Amino acid sequence: MIKIKLKEISDILNGKLICKKKDYNKYILNISINSKDIKNKCLFIAYKGKNFDSYIFLDEAINNKVVAIIIDKLYFKKYIPQILVNNVNDSLMKLSIWIKNKINPFIVAITGSSGKTTIKELVSFVLIKNKYNVVYTYKNNNNYIGVLLTLFRLKYNTKYLILEIGASRKYEIFNIVNLINPNLILINNLYISHIKYFKNFNNICSSKGEIFYSNYKNLKIILNYDNNDWNNWKFLNVNKNKFPIFYSLNKCSNNSDFYINNLFYNNFYTFNIITPIGKKYIKLNKKILFGNIPYIYNLIASVSILINLGLKLNEISYVNKFNGVNGRLFPYFIEKKNIILIDDSYNANIKSTINSINILNNFNKEYFKILIIGNINELGIKEVFYHKFIGLYINKFLKIDYILSIGNLTKNILNYNKNNSIYLDSINKILYKLISIIKKTDKKKKVILVKGSRSNKLENIVNKILNKYEYYK
């Protein structure tokens, strides 16, 4: 964060600074809305959430050595510099946008149903390797508050701000984009996700289309040619006379600006990526598993962004060194037990689940294939139908040797795979059963896929397995 005096912050917010005169010029270096996360020279904003009011955590924040607080009602228990405002939530927004406008970085906004985090991480990785000053979304803090907190991390030398933007409801993306006004936007794909709140697929498409409402005059638009809703989006008033840049897996007549050819797999993927400034040979490492076509889409999307930021072909070579993102089809190799553990526990929608199970199925007959699956959430009134669909898909088209499931909805998956599956109601029971299977198949190679929605906390299973066995990444 840039260094700002307390008096300056009060003026930006039109607040009332209540403190001793000597504290007017105290510098703020960090801002937090979490009383447990107080860093050096930190300002605490008593943010009000839907189900909480951070005002009640002021004592903890002060005990953790905050420099000052922003509040909408005075704090009397002990002396602490405080800025009194009418609305603390608006203050969080106003201050973060003031910082953004002062730094004026080039802003890239990435949305889509899947792959947002991987693209954001890959683009940022390559930029940093090329010595550009970059700030990017931490983990997947991609909602309204997450974006505002990311803006606080901007520094005077920040050239690029790479933002991941998610949504589970209408107008979430619109509200974010209206604040940040990105210079370049990318929509990676459209799948059924958060359908509980969006109600139907058309609303999902409309929600992703809210990202077009940036006020930046020369907005660059990048879309997946193989998966988009441009036939409807192009009629939005905001898109009048705008023409997207397209990427795809293969050349689609003359419509794809970025695509690949000569895709080949022999322990690792190789291919040429074709761009408007020439082609580049790509050699991925073995962490990108056979069949992980979604990752290749994410890579093409990332290169599309990087080239449009002005990078040269030699500068994008760092994509070869990117190892992927933990929790997103990330493999661990447990050599002593001949196990490959694929951690895809971060989140799930229907399409990503099918993709992941297909990758598991792609392993040859030498491997004993184990699927650990949790609920796929936010599917609304069709949640049972979709889980049954996955169960039927596995039964009809795949060869999975054993399925361990947790979460009531997964019982619908097991109904179609009763001879090689078990439902268990705790992570520890899953682990014990898995250890038993590993012992019984000791002489055989094994591959284990862990997949489910975030709320299942399946990363705990991954961590328990890794704690039990020696592994390398």
Angle at which helices 383-397 and 350-361 cross, to 10°: 20
Q: What is the pLDDT of residues 52-68, one digit of tens each?
A: 889 999 999 999 999 99
- Examine the pLDDT at 160 and tell me if it is beyond 90: yes
Could you give the dihedral angle defined by the CA atoms of residues 76, 78, 79 and 83, in that order, rounded to the nearest 10 degrees? -40
Residues 317-341, mean pLDDT to the nearest whole number: 93
Q: Where are the domains of the chain?
A: 4-87, 104-321, 330-468
For residue 63, what is the DSSP state?
Answer: H
> Hey, which bits of 276-356 come out as E strands?
278-283, 330-334, 339-344
* pLDDT at residue number 51: 81
* Biggest CA-to-CA distance, the chain: 75
Residue-wise burial string across 223-255, b where 16 or more C-beta atoms lie within 10 A, e elsewhere: bbbebbbbeebeeeeebeeeebbbbbbeeeeee
Residue scoring higher pLDDT (336 or 35): 35
pTM of the model: 0.95
Q: What is the CATH number of domain 330-468?
A: 3.90.190.20
* pLDDT at residue number 473: 66
* pLDDT at residue number 459: 96
Superfamily of domain 4-87: MurE/MurF, N-terminal domain (3.40.1390.10)
The structure tokens listed for 268 are: 């690792």
What is the distance between the terminal CA atoms of the chain, rounded to a whole angstrom? 33
The structure tokens listed for 97 are: 């946008």
Residue found by looking up tokens 């001949």 in the block: 338
**% of the chain residues with pLDDT over 90:** 94
Residues 406-431, mean pLDDT to the nearest whole number: 96
Best CATH choice for the domain 104-321 from the list 3.40.50.1970, 3.90.960.10, 2.70.180.20, 3.40.1190.10:
3.40.1190.10
Q: Give 459's contacts (C-beta < 8 A, 6+ positions apart).
A: 327, 343, 345, 346
- Examine the pLDDT at 472 and tell me if it is beyond 80: no
- Examine the pLDDT at 471 and tell me if it is beyond 80: no
Q: Give 304's contacts (C-beta < 8 A, 6+ positions apart).
A: 186, 222, 245, 247, 257, 258, 275
DSSP 359-373: HHHTS-TTEEEEEEE
- Examine the pLDDT at 210 and tell me if it is beyond 80: yes
DSSP 84-118: E-S-HHHHHHHHHHHHHHHH--EEEEEE-SS-HHH
What letter represents residue 411's amino acid?
A: K
Residues 392-413, mean pLDDT to the nearest whole number: 97
